[in-house]
Amino acid sequence: MKYLNLFIYILFLSLTGQIVQANTKPINPADMEKATALLHESDLSRGNVAGIVWNIDIITESRGKTQENGLQVKVKGTNCLAVYQSPSKIKGRKLLMKDRNMWFIKPGLSKPVPISPRQKLLGGASNGDIASTNYAGDYTIESFTQDQFNNEPCYLYELKAKNKKVTYDKIRYWVSMKRKIGLKAEFFTLSGKMFKTAFFEYDHTITLNGKERLFVSKMTILNAMVKTDRTIMAYHDIKIKKISPSSFNLNLLVR
């Protein structure tokens, strides 16, 4: 009876969160530096560079219906301008992200409309998904472990948003240790509920600082609630080029 009572008492403490794991080890600073560097490297293959232009075809499949939009995207670091190319009825509309603030600009409107990167763009894609990825700057690495995805050794990151201006609250992110690219991401609400998963393909290459680097060609987003809903973001016509700061001038864009 004495041991039974002790077992019940320990079980109560564990359920109420009063037992602290004694074997929790702090993250080695050298390991954290390595993990942060790898995360930064993966960002470069998803657009976080000094100047780049690409086109995106966004195709969404939901409840048996297909919808498609085409955008041209200019990126310089964390600044991003996306201009709708198709369909024709919305051609010329713009999305501007500057310092993680975002606006919608429509021909004929005298003022831009502030929007959130978290708002839905099309299907499973959020407004912020069209911009360059800056996970190393926008998120805190809460933890990381070695894992595998499709038999490829990865770092599995648990990322937490530094502020409300970024697209997601929490992310689980698999990054290839060898190829230094993100392979899979799971996106969560602040309460910890997963609402979508993304898979990445890299059939493009770009040249940065004289070295070739893989660059994202497709992002496939699956809805965690509605299994049949799928959004594909296909990247093409990637060009490294200088982009004038005036391209992201909000006052010039609404003229």
> What's the per-residue H, E or C state across the chain?
CHHHHHHHHHHHHHHCCCCCCCCCCCCCHHHHHHHHHHHHHHHHCCCCCCCEEEEEEEEEEECCEEEEEEEEEEEECCEEEEEEEECHHHCCCEEEEECCEEEEECCCCCCCEEECCCCEEECCEEHHHHCCCCHHHHEEEEEEEEEEECCEEEEEEEEEECCCCCCCCEEEEEEECCCCCEEEEEEECCCCCEEEEEEEECCEEEEECCEEEEECCEEEEEECCCCCCEEEEEEEEEEECCCCHHHHCHHHHCC
Whether the pLDDT of residue 235 is over 80: the answer is: yes
Share of the chain above pLDDT 90, in %: 74
pLDDT digits (tens, 9 = 90+) for 98-117: 988 999 999 988 899 999 99
Which tokens go with 157? 């990151």
pLDDT digit string (tens) for 48-91? 999 999 999 999 998 888 999 999 999 998 899 999 999 999 99
Calculate the average pLDDT of the chain: 88
Q: Across residues 194-221, what is the average pLDDT? A: 95
CATH architecture of the domain 29-253 equals Clam (2.50)
pLDDT value for 255: 72
Return the percentage of the chain with pLDDT > 70, whole number: 90
Residue 13 has pLDDT above 50, yes or no: no
Q: Map out the domains of the chain as residue ranges.
A: 29-253
